[in-house]
Amino acid sequence: GESVGLHLPTLSVQEGDNSIINCAYSNSASDYFIWYKQESGKGPQFIIDIRSNMDKRQGQRVTVLLNKTVKHLSLQIAATQPGDSAVYFCAENRGGYNKLIFGAGTRLAVHP
Amino acid sequence: EAQVTQNPRYLITVTGKKLTVTCSQNMNHEYMSWYRQDPGLGLRQIYYSMNVEVTDKGDVPEGYKVSRKEKRNFPLILESPSPNQTSLYFCASSDKGKDTEAFFGQGTRLTVV
């Protein structure tokens, strides 16, 4: 597998539990945020996005929360499954055409 | 199938030997970019292109070149690779517009010895 996750913080959860992955962003001017999932040996895959005029958005089993006051973003995964095991990145758009700035990532490990 | 295709997937080369990593997308996207991914640093943008013949530097452009002669292709060129360019590289494309998701290729693992 790839070595990109060797130094990442890891969140370990039991299968079936809910997972919460957090991300702090730095630029108050950022107005668009995306969560990506990266499985071993693959490129990042879009999960969900949110614009700065919203504070919550829901998808299938996933919810993203945005707190602009403290510049914090979270990804909630309901009923976590083994297939959710991956590295998760938040990305912020600081303006312009898709100028994405990525966080360092969090590894999610799901145990049976 | 909509996809971004990079080649090669794995490459080992020696310092100073010019190389090109190809990237092609079949979604007619205007915007393409290159990222490198290193442990603990996430993805950092190297170069991006907003359209044919329009390219600009990202956050870590030193030692890299790009070209955008056709809409679908966006090759990354390392004229004289050095060991600090050993990394995992991703090409991405997205549709025109400010807030649109980026689609990523499968990655190219480059090792420079």
pLDDT tens column, A78-99: 999 999 999 999 998 876 666 7
Cis peptide leading into residue B8 (ω within 30°): yes
Closest of B105, B34, B15 to residue B75, by C-alpha: B34
pLDDT of residue A27: 85
Least confident range from B13-27, B77-91, B98-112: namely B98-112
Nearest to A102 among B39, B42, B96 (CB): B42
pLDDT of residue A2: 40
Region of B42 please: left (phi>0), alpha (psi -120 to 50) or beta: left
Convert the pLDDT of each residue in B47-87 to its tens digit: 999 999 999 999 999 999 999 999 999 999 999 999 999 99
Backbone torsions φ then ψ of B45, nearest 5 degrees: -75, 130
Region of B73 please: left (phi>0), alpha (psi -120 to 50) or beta: beta
Q: Chain A interface residues facing chain B, Cβ-Cβ under 8 Å?
A: 2-8, 31-32, 34, 36, 41-46, 49, 51, 89, 91, 93, 96-100, 102-105
Q: What is the mean pLDDT of chain A?
A: 89
- Grade residue A65 by pLDDT with cuts at 50, 70 and 90: very high
Q: Nearest CA to CA, how far is A104 from chain B (Å)?
A: 4
CA separation for the pair A68, A56 (Å, rounded): 11
Residues in chain B within 8 Å Cβ distance of A3? 39
Contact assignment for A100 to B50 by CB distance below 8 Å: no
Residue of B nearest to A92 (CA): B99
pLDDT of residue A3: 41
Contact assignment for A43 to B101 by CB distance below 8 Å: no
Return the H-helix or E-strand segment holding A106: strand A106-111
CA separation for the pair B18, B79 (Å, rounded): 5
